[in-house]
Amino acid sequence: MNKNIGKVKFSYYGIAIYEVEIIYNILISHFEDVDESLLETIDNQYASLVQIEFPISFSESFFQFFTFERWFQVKSILKEMKRRRGKKGLLTCISFNGITSELRFNLMFSISNKDNRHFEMAVEKIEYLVDIIPLQLIVLPSNIEEIYYDYDEITLKWNPQWARRDNGMRYFFKDSKWIL
């Protein structure tokens, strides 16, 4: 993979200028362009929001391209931002363009945990899902545009929550099956 892989999107609200600069510099170091945008407050339950949309698939290739060192830097700044915001929290959404060249959909990880330790655990476990997600998605319905994963504080695991088809129909993941 080369740097001309595409444009990464970085959206946010409620974060300091130096936090924006740190994340931007990490992203621009490996992508041809960063589409940065300041959002209006979306959810008043959270002091801040960080959304990063990677233009490549969530696979081993991503971590080889982006490097674990840069991934560690992203994780570190997110955990520090959460710690600084306390109970008001940091809502974080990280998304990828599918999991393989054949399975292209928006794969989204949402971290909404208010507790610092659970937030940290969720961030730390993302890279370990590279091998698990393809197995979870074997039974995926056709024409899926988006899959949403959420971190469960009780089981301490990332779980698929829903998948949305291109016609807007939504499926929910229950008992290892996608149901309407």
pLDDT digits (tens), the chain, 180 positions: 455 578 999 999 999 999 999 999 999 998 989 999 999 887 788 999 999 999 999 999 999 999 999 999 999 999 999 999 888 889 999 999 988 877 789 999 999 888 889 999 999 999 999 999 988 888 888 889 999 999 999 999 999 999 999 899 999 998 888 998
pLDDT of 1: 47
Q: Containing H/E element for 92?
A: strand 90-97
Number of domains within the chain = 1
pTM of the model as a whole: 0.92
Which two three-digit tokens encode residue 23?
């994340």
Q: Which domain holds residue 134?
A: 3-179
Residue type, 86: G
